Amino acid sequence: MSETQAYLSLKRAAKSLGVHEQTLRSWEKRGLIRMVRLPGSGYRRVPVEEIARLKDEMASSQPNSGIQIVPPRRDSESLAQARVLADSVCAELSDLEAATTFDEFMDSIRGRTWSS
Q: What is the pLDDT of residues 20-31, one digit of tens each?
A: 999 999 999 998
Per-residue pLDDT band for 65 (boundaries 50, 70, 90) equals low
**Close Cβ partners of 11 (under 8 Å, ≥ 6 residues apart):** 21
- Within-domain flag for 80: yes
Per the structure, the count of domains in the chain is 2
Q: Whose CA is closest to 92, among 116, 108, 81, 78?
A: 108
pTM of the entire structure?
0.48
Query: Which has the higher per-residue pLDDT, 95 or 14?
Result: 14
Range of the domain at 100: 76-110
Query: Hey, is 109 helix, strand or coil?
Result: helix
What pLDDT shows up at residue 112?
Answer: 62
pLDDT at position 97 is 65
Residue 17 forms part of a structural domain? yes
Same domain, 54 and 91: no
